[in-house]
Amino acid sequence: MSDDRYKRLTSEGTSVYREKGSKFYGYAFPVDSFDDVEHAINTIRGAHSKARHFCYAYRVTEDDWRANDDGEPRHSAGTPILRQIQSADLYETAVVVVRYFGGTKLGVSGLINAYGTAATEALGQAKNEWTFPTKIMRYTLSYPAYNNALQLLNQFDGEVKNQEMGEHVNLTIRIRATQAHHFDNALTNNLHKL
């Protein structure tokens, strides 16, 4: 995510790849954290209770990623999956590949190819989009300041996530991270004019 925008999945994708009797089921899906990955793996395990391996990789940000071989030879499963996520330039993305052993050993190079192919095909079935890092901001505002905030929000391409009306308005917004400071300054300057 070197510039302001990045690519993420907006839907799930699946694949089935066969090699020498083994079956590799690929599942690509959007994630916000490792908790999402764990939840998905548990769900997938329930659907494939007789499978031998549940290998995965995910990348949320440049610094938040992981690859897991789940008992396959080191770097023969999780790493090839991660490489496919990286080569597609995706973030907030995970891929789980489930293997049913078919009786014939594939060797490390065969495993690398099979896991990588299953991941590529699952990612290819999912939709993705370019997006921007966002920030959640919360304010407690008077009604005139609230109206002002809504006008500014339109100018800064932000969105209202939640609002609670009472004596004051508790407003939660989502705004592009690079615009958050500018929005906050504009709102503060306008509050002084009210």
Q: What is the pLDDT of residue 194?
A: 63
The residues that bridge with 82 in the sheet, in sequence order, are: none
Q: What is the pLDDT of residue 2?
A: 41
Q: What is the pLDDT of residue 174?
A: 87
Tell me the per-residue pLDDT of 167-178, one tens digit each, with 9 for 90 and over.
999 999 989 888
Give me the domains of the chain, ranges plus CATH numbers. Answer: 6-130 (3.30.230.30), 132-193 (3.30.70.240)
Tell me the per-residue pLDDT of 99-138, one tens digit each, with 9 for 90 and over.
999 889 999 999 999 999 999 999 999 999 998 888 889 9
| 121/25 Cα distance (integer angstroms) | 10
End-to-end CA distance of the chain: 39
Q: Tell me the average confidence (pLDDT) per consecutive run of 10 residues in the chain, 194 residues long.
A: 76 97 97 92 95 96 94 97 97 97 93 98 96 89 93 91 94 90 91 71
| 71/185 Cα distance (integer angstroms) | 53
